[in-house]
Structure formats: C-alpha cells, structure tokens
Amino acid sequence: MPNIIEGSLAAQGLRFGIIVSRFNHFITDKLLEGALDALQRSGAEEKNIEIHKVPGSFEIPLMARRLVDTGGYDAIICLGAIIRGGTIHYDHIAAEVTKGIAVLNLEGKVPISLGVITAEDIEQAIERAGTKMGNKGEDAALAAVEMVNLLKKI
C-alpha cells in the first residue's frame, strides 16, 4: 500500500489573511461569510484572521503579493466575483486575476486559495455564493487550511 499524505482541516493556531473585493459586494460579502464560518468551524481564532478589502478583483493579486511578503500568514484566501458583462473586459480580468494568484501560489511561500468566482450572470454568481452550488468562499477557506497542513508534512 502506498504512503498517502494529506492535510487535515484543523486551523488551530494558524494565521489567515483574507482578501475580499468590494466590487460586487452583494456576492463577495456572502463569500466572506462562508470563508469565516469555515475557518471558525475548523478551529481558527478570530485574532488570527485578518480581512483586507480591495476595490475589485483585479487588485487581489497585488494585495496577495504584499501579504506574502510580510511573512505573517500561514495561508491567504482570495475572494471576489467577476460577472460577465457586455464587453470582453470580463475575460481579461478573470484571466489576469487567476494568473496573478497562480504565479504567487507557485512561488511556494504560503498557500493561496482561489475563491474568486467567475459567472456568466448574477444568478450564477448568487448560486456559487451560498445557494445551489454551495459557497465558494467556504471551499476556498477549507482548501487553504488543508494545504497549510499538507505542506507542513512535506
């Protein structure tokens, strides 16, 4: 039988930076609620969670870079909502935000989870922020906890 290494969902003593976009706040507020609930259920203490609000999703990678550079966090959780409009702006923003977060993640200093939803319309965004499709903020927080614990085992 191969040796299986996996991370736990125990957040006791871990420090989290949450970056949340204010744009589309009616969605991102719900993502933040889901992330906070998941962290608290996993044992994270409020004093070890900091929330950093940025104007929009495009600013998330810059803030993530700054938080990584402080060395003060075990994981960073990125939350935003990019909703398709009538122009190609959506495609550019979604690609650059995802790429920016991926580049930082691959540097390997701390896990950075992607809780930035991309949606075709408002209804789809609402579904991913706590209704039919679950809460992607919760999913991002749990992924961050699991990755911190997994990386500690390697």
Q: Per-residue pLDDT tens for 81-112?
A: 999 987 888 999 999 999 999 999 999 899 99
Catalytic residues: 89
Domains of the chain: 16-152 (3.40.50.960)
Q: Per-residue pLDDT tens for 137-147?
A: 999 999 999 99
* Token code pair at residue 17: 């930076």
The pair phi, psi for residue 7, each rounded to 5°, is: -90, 155
* Separation in Å, CA 84 to CA 14, 28, 29, 95: 35, 15, 19, 13
Residue 117, classed as helix, strand or coil, is strand
Would you say the pTM of this structure is higher than 0.75?
yes
Q: Is the pLDDT of residue 63 over 90?
A: yes
Q: Phi-psi bin for 8: left (phi > 0), alpha (psi -120 to 50), beta?
A: beta
